[in-house]
Amino acid sequence: MKQFAHPQGPTIHAGHSLRILAGSLLAGWLLNLLPWRIDLLWLRPDFLLLATLYWAIYQPTRIGVGSAWWLGLLTDFSDGAHIGQHAISYALAVYALTLFQRRLYNFPPWQQALPVMAFLLLEQVSNILIATFMGDSRDVLPWMASLVTGTLVWFPWWGIMHRLQVRMPPNAP
Amino acid sequence: MAEHHSNPALFPHGLTPGARLVIYLLASILLLTLDARYHGLFWLRAAANSLIYPLQAIEQIPVSAFGNMSAFFVKQGTLLTENRQLRRQAVRWQLESQQLRSLSAENHHLRALLDLRSKSGLTSHAAEIVGISRNPYQALISLDRGSLSGIQPGSAVIDETGLVGQITSTYPLTSTVTLITDKDQSVPVRVQRTGQNAIMFGTGQGVELRYLPHSTDIRPGDLLVTSGLGGVFPAGLDVARITSIDNRSARAFDIVSCQPLAAIDREQQVLIVDTHPQPR
């Protein structure tokens, strides 16, 4: 029984502190707020959504449908969208994620990338549907490119977040 | 260090995620209705905007610092060429401005003779683009001047090449511009060559003239300027150039595609032109 009392191996991943969680969400939002060039805007990944998805996978007791809704509301205010538009789509994407959360938790990032792209797609499509219901219309196909860039950004994002995990030494009491 | 279980409890209690999702969906539908149908959330938007703006302004600092730094390393030759071009332009403009002065004096005199009210001079504020909506549906940009600087909704926004759009909402520190390419934006224009009046509509991607009969005299390359009809935009601002005309007889009217002249995707500085509501 000794190996259970004193587990071997380099470190045990013990999750993230609340400060890192809040900080990364803030960072994602600030990245979205950066003054991007208007002709390259369609390539910009939604960093806040990526952060939300990351935490919905790794801290599902803290970030769920409700917090995603509030973060979407924040995006509505900062993007000048209809109030409630991104709120719905963020909540839907995170809800879809909660259905697969246990599997995604154990996946390596390259295996998470495709489901993440699907959640980004779900967010985009629901966003387009709501906007269409509200009477907007525009050529939205180029904006689908942000799904690809978002998926590509997932890897560095995952890497940074993974490094920020709180690690317990192997022989901690 | 706060211990926190990273996985949900094996036997969760409370609302299921599905039930919570339904509650939040209903809440957002309520918000969407309040916002879009009754415009009931304007104060909330204004408050949120005043909170977000300082952050945007802070983020602008390193970006503009980088711009300044790369400007420092511009080649001498480029500077010289640019300088020469600018000088040439300055001379030309000097000439034009002299002509303009004499013409405007003459115009003033003639108008006085005709007992017409002289056109009021335009007042303008320089402003900088601080944010661009990521929302693909709305062609919106935000500027760093707001109602505290005396900006009023309805003012025209131009850059040095042409009309950019119109101020549609003002907050204390910022204001939002709806671009002329926005689907809901229309501008009364005049074809400069012929004086033909028309209305230019945004299509989301570009702009077009509608409801012009097939017999209208227009050609690709014609310049469109604001006509000043309707009193919203001051007259005589450059707006767009006609690119193509679809005059198939199957349609009741011509469809005229135009290319806006303003370069909102390249410029940072714009000018807000007040259209003073003229006392009648």
B115 assigned to some structural domain: no
- Contact assignment for A44 to B183 by CB distance below 8 Å: no
- The CA distance from A12 to the nearest CA of chain B, in Å, is 13
* Of B18, B25, B142, Cβ closest to residue A88: B25
pLDDT (0 to 100) of residue B40: 74
* Residue A107: exposure state from Cβ atoms within 10 A (0-12, 13-18, ≥19): middle
Tens of pLDDT, residue by residue over B243-273, are 988 877 777 788 888 888 887 666 577 888 8
Residue B140 pLDDT grade (very low, low, confident, very high; cuts 50, 70, 90): confident
- A63 neighbourhood in chain B, CB within 8 Å: none
**Residues 19 through 48 of chain A touching chain B, CB cutoff 8 Å:** 30, 32-39, 41-42, 44, 46
- The CA distance from B11 to the nearest CA of chain A, in Å, is 13
Structure tokens at A166: 């709180």
Tens of pLDDT, residue by residue over A63-103, are 989 999 999 999 988 887 888 999 999 999 999 999 999 89
B40 assigned to some structural domain: no
A157 assigned to some structural domain: yes
Q: How far apart are CA B116 and CA B97, in angstroms?
A: 24
B147 assigned to some structural domain: yes
Q: Minimal Cα distance from A26: which residue of B?
A: B55
Structure tokens at B25: 């969906």
Q: How far apart are CA B31 and CA A53, in angstroms?
A: 24
Helix (H) or strand (E) holding A92: helix A85-99
Q: What is the per-residue burial (b if ≥16 Cβ within 10 Å, else e) of B29-61?
A: eebbeebbeeeebeeebbebbeebbeebeebbe
Q: Minimal Cα distance from A63: which residue of B?
A: B6
**Residues 110 through 129 of chain A touching chain B, CB cutoff 8 Å:** none
Residue A154 has pLDDT above 70, yes or no: yes
B16 assigned to some structural domain: no
pLDDT (0 to 100) of residue B121: 62
- A17 vs B276 pLDDT, higher one: A17
pLDDT (0 to 100) of residue A94: 95
- The CA distance from B161 to the nearest CA of chain A, in Å, is 18
Q: What percent of chain B has pLDDT over 70?
A: 85
A173 assigned to some structural domain: no
Question: Whose structure tokens read 């952050």?
Answer: B55
Q: What percent of chain A has pLDDT over 70?
A: 83
Q: Which residues contact B245 (CB under 8 A, 6 or more apart)?
A: B218, B219, B220, B254, B255, B256, B257
Mean pLDDT to the nearest integer, B185-199? 89
Query: Would an 8 Å CB–CB cutoff place A66 in contact with chain B?
Result: yes
pLDDT (0 to 100) of residue A137: 65
- The CA distance from A118 to the nearest CA of chain B, in Å, is 19
Residue B280 has pLDDT above 60, yes or no: no
Paired with B169 in beta bridges are B176
A83 assigned to some structural domain: yes
Q: Which residues contact B93 (CB under 8 A, 6 or more apart)?
A: none
pLDDT (0 to 100) of residue B2: 42
B23 assigned to some structural domain: no
Domain encompassing residue A85 = 2-168
pLDDT (0 to 100) of residue A173: 46
- Contact assignment for A37 to B265 by CB distance below 8 Å: yes
pLDDT, chain A, mean: 84
Four-CA torsion A63, A68, A74, A76, nearest 10 degrees: 170
- B138 neighbourhood in chain A, CB within 8 Å: 80-81, 136
Tens of pLDDT, residue by residue over A45-54, are 999 999 999 9
pLDDT, chain B, mean: 80
Domain encompassing residue B180 = 122-280
Residue B224 has pLDDT above 80, yes or no: yes
pLDDT (0 to 100) of residue A98: 92
- Contact assignment for B52 to A30 by CB distance below 8 Å: no
Residue B278 pLDDT grade (very low, low, confident, very high; cuts 50, 70, 90): very low
Query: Would an 8 Å CB–CB cutoff place A143 in contact with chain B?
Result: yes
B49 assigned to some structural domain: no
Mean pLDDT to the nearest integer, B196-216? 86
Closest CA to B135 of A127, A90, A74, A129: A127
B92 assigned to some structural domain: no
Whether residue B121 contacts residue B235, with contact meaning beta carbons closer than 8 Å, is answered with no
Which residue intervals of chain B are DSSP H helices?
17-37, 42-72, 76-114
Question: Total domain count for chain B?
Answer: 1
- Contact assignment for B1 to A17 by CB distance below 8 Å: yes
Question: Total domain count for chain A?
Answer: 1
Top residue of B28, B52, B60, B205 to mutate, by most chain A CBs within 10 Å, is B28
- A91 vs B62 pLDDT, higher one: A91
Structure tokens at A126: 């629901």
Residue B31 has pLDDT above 50, yes or no: yes
- How many inter-chain contacts (A to B, CB under 8 Å) are there? 146
- B27 neighbourhood in chain A, CB within 8 Å: 69, 84, 87
pLDDT (0 to 100) of residue B116: 55
Query: Can you give the CATH number for the domain in which B126 is found?
Result: 2.40.10.340
- Contact assignment for B24 to A38 by CB distance below 8 Å: no
B19 assigned to some structural domain: no
- Contact assignment for A83 to B45 by CB distance below 8 Å: yes
Residue B66 has pLDDT above 60, yes or no: yes
pLDDT (0 to 100) of residue A23: 92
- A92 neighbourhood in chain B, CB within 8 Å: 21
